[in-house]
Amino acid sequence: MGGVMQNRITAQLLEADRKAVLDAFTTILTKLPFLVDLTPDDRRELPKMGDKSVAFVRKSVEMAQEGADYLPGAFDAAEFKSDMALYDALIPFLQKATKLQELLDDTLVLIGSDLYVAALDHYAAAKRSGDTGGLDGLMGELGKRFTRRAPTAVIPPAR
């Protein structure tokens, strides 16, 4: 690890800015009250419109707007068109949210790495010095991170 503290991000998040960002998320969710939260089973069971299907669906929406006589009476061409418009409107949101998630993930990984390296350096320095200033209990707690457990015996299944 090397005794040199990494510090690749130096930033502070002001409380007012933190609150404003959280409020912005609340606003987003308020403005999109129709968003759904599917269960993993729901996701698995639904037919998916992948990239290759989008052109097919768009052409179908276009054809349905022509007022074809072959459509069943319960088929709502206006709703079909409206759903396509909503789909198109939400795609840029997903793209922005995905980029934001990637940036947040990468930033947290980098900050976490810096913190972990600093903690390792701090622990090693405190351990080397032997003088923990009465913080032996805390040193013991830190040391638990490196306690190895005995391997658990795996009992093969009976045949």
Q: Please check whether residue 138 lies inside any domain of the structure.
A: no
For 103-140, the pLDDT digits (tens) are 999 999 999 999 988 888 887 887 777 666 666 667 66
What is the number of domains present in the chain? Answer: 1
**Residue 134 placed within a domain:** no
Residue 150 is assigned to a structural domain of this protein? no
Assess if residue 137 is contained within a domain: no
Does residue 51 lie in a domain region?
yes
Transcribe 2-47 into DSSP letters.
Answer: -S-----------HHHHHHHHHHHHHHHHH-TT-----HHHHHHS-
Q: What are phi and psi of 98, to 5 degrees?
A: -65, -45
Task: Determine the structural domain holding residue 25 and report its residue range.
Answer: 15-128
Please write the tens of the pLDDT for every residue from 28-75: 999 999 999 999 999 999 999 999 999 999 999 999 998 778 888 889
Does any domain span residue 153?
A: no
Reported pTM = 0.74
In a domain, 159, yes or no: no
